[in-house]
Amino acid sequence: MNNQRYFIDKVAIVTGASSGIGLATATLLAKYKAKVVLAARSIEKLEDLQKELSQYTQVISVKTDVSVESDCRNLIQETVKKFGRIDILINNAGISMRAMFKDLDLSVIKRLMDVNFWGTVYCTKFALPYLLESKGSVVGVISTAGYKGLPGRTGYSASKFAINGFLDTLRSEHLYDGLHVMIYAPGFTASNIRKTALMADGSQQGETPREEGKMMTSERVAEIMLNHIRRRSRRATLTFTSKLLLVLTRLFPITTDHMEYWYMAREPDSPFKRRRDIMRERRNHQA
């Protein structure tokens, strides 16, 4: 069975649908003739997207801040009110950060946990009775940072690890109930998540430190995600770099820590770039 046939008339909720992976996923679901529920904070962006996607299928927009429990409850209620069921919940909404923990205002970590982790928990909690009834799919979009801590991303990694553990446990609890739970780790993807990443004081970064053009596109990430939902995969990790990192972490954990540090330190204006330069100076001096 191909994706086109599998997703026809399925009711799918996508959080963080106004941009990036969420937008690409919602668009592809609409083209596959699923009934799509768009959720994000910007209702203006959602309504514009709804108009565009309505040429393919039935679409509704629900203004949702996933860090607010009542918003997530309302999202599920509006979905069931309109369509009477839920087949797929894609917990995609998320924010990132870029700062050393020693410099970080703790409100930044709280914000990341509220959006990334609690947003997933809230939406899943309220959707779960309907997903159990339909034997549907709940998806958590994490990251390589949900398997291996990334320097300069303490709050981001913590929130993604938490999602990983939450959904892994949920799968075990409903092992015999027909519920499909998938943990999806795209790796670095061309999107606006790095532009909106929070700095040490909670302000947005504004500019991406990476070459977005060399990354996997949001559209490709969405396509692979839907393939795995159709196949009811347990986990999916994308990009060669991410897969290699996870293998090396298991085999050579200490060496991988150093490799990861240097890799992340190559970013322009890295929060730990000065430390890297000091270490180079020390090595040169010893030589």
Q: Which residues contact 48 (CB under 8 A, 6 or more apart)?
A: none
Element (H, E) at 91: strand 88-91
Higher pLDDT, 243 or 234: 234
| List 122, 130, 156, 184, catalytic entry | 156
Dist CA 12 CA 27 (whole Å): 11
- Specify whether the CB–CB gap between 188 and 211 falls below 8 A: no
What pLDDT is attached to residue 194? Answer: 45
Q: Residue with structure tokens 């990341």?
A: 112
Tell me the pLDDT tens digit for each residue of 6-53.
Answer: 999 999 999 999 999 999 999 999 999 999 999 999 999 999 999 999
Dist CA 164 CA 159 (whole Å): 9
- Specify whether the CB–CB gap between 64 and 72 falls below 8 A: yes
Dist CA 270 CA 152 (whole Å): 8
**Of the given ranges (89-98, 187-196, 246-255), which has the lowest mean pLDDT?**
187-196
The whole-model pTM stands at: 0.88
- Does the pLDDT of residue 190 top 90, yes or no? no
Active site residue 32: no
Q: How confident is the model at residue 285 (pLDDT cuts 50, 70, 90)?
A: low
Sign of CA dihedral 266, 194, 146, 67: positive
What is the rounded average pLDDT of the residues 78-82? 98
CB atoms near residue 266 (< 10 Å): 11
- The structural domains of the chain, with segments of one domain joined by +, span 3-239
What pLDDT is attached to residue 158? Answer: 95
Calculate the average pLDDT of the chain. Answer: 89
The CATH architecture annotation of domain 3-239 reads: 3-Layer(aba) Sandwich (3.40)
- Specify whether the CB–CB gap between 76 and 130 falls below 8 A: yes
